[in-house]
């Protein structure tokens, strides 16, 4: 029987088989040594912004060997740097899935990784645990191998587009103890108390379109056609009122591109989406960041962190929801371009 377990404050009728009502919050970060109260740690130049990295200090993804190691995520495995198991059944639109769970009563962890299909050699990944115990752990990471050069800025070049798929992980836990379950959770001993049951992090998926203007050194984008997926059956999750959980589109607000090809900015809901019925322009709902790579910036990879994702005023009844997502895209106009998303562009 499927159930959404206590990752969010949800109406009782959405908790199909029960579960608690405590929201999972990000694990508190201890202050750095020598820092005073109220001071904020500044990320190193070219590093992953703290809001995006969260608990992840490093993620190493090898698309050829199909391996992924994650450093820094609490309770995933005994070593500080944990090797996750390849779990192809949970792959989403070109993003390779990996999972880790040490024993049936330990947290379950899900991760996704992807690398560009061209010579850009940029990659990114995201990892997140499900419940229990009122907190979740995870975050994202991106990096680049080799050189990066921006496109030549000329009357007919310098403004380029990227398109592809997006995948994310959310602090909504799912569990299915039925005989036909497709979840990745280890079987718990009979009679295990509900408060001890681990859950599998929910998945979001969608499409991404990014525009980069290298004449003005700016980047912006859209994440659209978004939905929440129940990982125990691969289907769109259902809202309390019976509607499929189709999520509002979000935008990456225009932000500068640094000389090293990195960028970071803020997320907003897309004002034009039908679920958005109140003014949202200028209201931050999260952060994004990433890195360009390759000759003429042939690829881009990045991470998104959303502090809410179901729309203003909780139209689906979700509260305290958080999402960490990843995008890895090839530039339009190349042989490996996303032919659907790049249609109509002038790369």
User: CA–CA separation, 296 vs 279, rounded Å?
Assistant: 37
User: CA–CA separation, 269 vs 278, rounded Å?
Assistant: 10
DSSP state of 211: E
**Residue 339 in domain:** no
**Residue 82 in domain:** yes
Residue 96: give the domain boundaries: 2-24+47-184+197-331
Shortest CA distance to 76 belongs to which of 111, 26, 28?
111
Answer for the pair 211, 341: CB distance below 8 angstroms, yes or no: no
Q: What is the pLDDT of residue 80?
A: 61
Q: What is the pLDDT of residue 73?
A: 62
Backbone angles phi, psi at 151, to 5 degrees: -65, 155
**Residue 240 in domain:** yes
- Structurally, how many domains does the chain consist of? 1
Tell whether the torsion through CA atoms of 173, 15, 234 and 302 is positive or negative: negative
Query: Where are the extended beta strands (E) located within 38-116?
Result: 58-62, 67-71, 81-86, 96-100, 109-115
What does each C-alpha distance from 27 to 38, 248, 284 come to in angstroms? 18, 27, 22
Q: What is the pLDDT of residue 170?
A: 94
User: CA–CA separation, 326 vs 168, rounded Å?
Assistant: 6
**Residue 209 in domain:** yes
User: CA–CA separation, 129 vs 199, rounded Å?
Assistant: 8
**Residue 287 in domain:** yes
**Residue 252 in domain:** yes
**Residue 291 in domain:** yes
Q: What is the pLDDT of residue 2?
A: 39
Answer for the pair 325, 169: CB distance below 8 angstroms, yes or no: yes
How is residue 48 written in tokens?
Answer: 């992953």
State the pairing for strand pair 138-144/122-129. Answer: antiparallel
**Residue 343 in domain:** no
CATH number at residue 150: 2.40.160.90
Mean pLDDT by 10 residues, the chain (347 residues): 39 26 36 38 58 87 84 57 86 92 86 90 90 80 91 81 96 81 82 85 95 94 96 89 92 96 97 92 96 94 96 86 95 85 80
Q: What is the pLDDT of residue 344?
A: 78
> Which residue is associated with the tokens 């944990």?
82
Residues 203-248 pLDDT 10s: 999 999 999 999 999 999 999 999 999 998 899 998 878 889 999 9
Which residues on adjacent β-strands are paired with residue 250? 223, 269
Residues 248-292 pLDDT 10s: 999 999 999 999 999 999 999 999 999 899 999 999 999 999 999
């Amino acid at each position: 029987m499927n159930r959404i377990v206590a990752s969010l404050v949800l109406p009782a009728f959405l908790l199909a088989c029960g579960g608690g009502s405590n929201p999972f919050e990000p694990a508190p970060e201890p202050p750095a040594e020598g820092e005073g109260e109220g001071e904020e740690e500044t990320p190193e130049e070219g590093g992953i912004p703290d809001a995006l990295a969260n608990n992840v200090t490093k993620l190493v993804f090898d698309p050829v060997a199909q391996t992924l190691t994650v450093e820094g995520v609490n309770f995933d495995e005994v070593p500080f740097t944990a090797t996750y198991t390849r779990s192809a059944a949970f792959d989403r639109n070109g993003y390779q899935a990996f999972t880790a769970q040490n024993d049936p009563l330990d947290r379950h962890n899900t991760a996704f990784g992807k690398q560009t299909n061209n010579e850009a050699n940029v990659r990114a990944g995201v990892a997140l645990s499900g419940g229990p115990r009122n907190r979740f752990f995870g975050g994202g990471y991106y990096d680049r191998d080799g050189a990066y050069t921006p496109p030549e800025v000329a009357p007919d070049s310098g403004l380029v587009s990227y398109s592809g798929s997006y995948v994310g992980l959310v602090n909504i836990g799912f569990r299915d103890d039925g005989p036909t379950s497709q979840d990745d959770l280890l079987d718990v001993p009979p009679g295990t108390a509900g408060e001890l049951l681990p859950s599998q992090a929910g998945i979001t998926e969608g499409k991404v379109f990014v525009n980069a203007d290298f004449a003005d050194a700016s980047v912006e984008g859209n994440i659209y056609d978004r939905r929440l997926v129940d990982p125990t059956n691969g289907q769109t999750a259902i809202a309390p009122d019976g509607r499929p959980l189709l999520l509002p589109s979000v935008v990456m607000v225009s932000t500068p591109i640094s000389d090293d090809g990195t960028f970071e900015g803020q997320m907003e809901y897309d004002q034009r989406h039908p679920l958005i019925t109140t003014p949202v322009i200028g209201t931050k709902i999260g952060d994004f960041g990433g890195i360009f790579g390759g000759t003429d910036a042939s690829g881009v990879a990045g991470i998104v962190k959303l502090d809410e994702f179901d729309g203003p005023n909780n139209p689906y009844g979700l509260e305290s929801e958080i999402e960490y997502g990843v995008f890895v895209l090839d530039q339009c106009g190349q042989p490996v371009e996303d032919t659907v998303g790049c249609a109509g562009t002038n790369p």
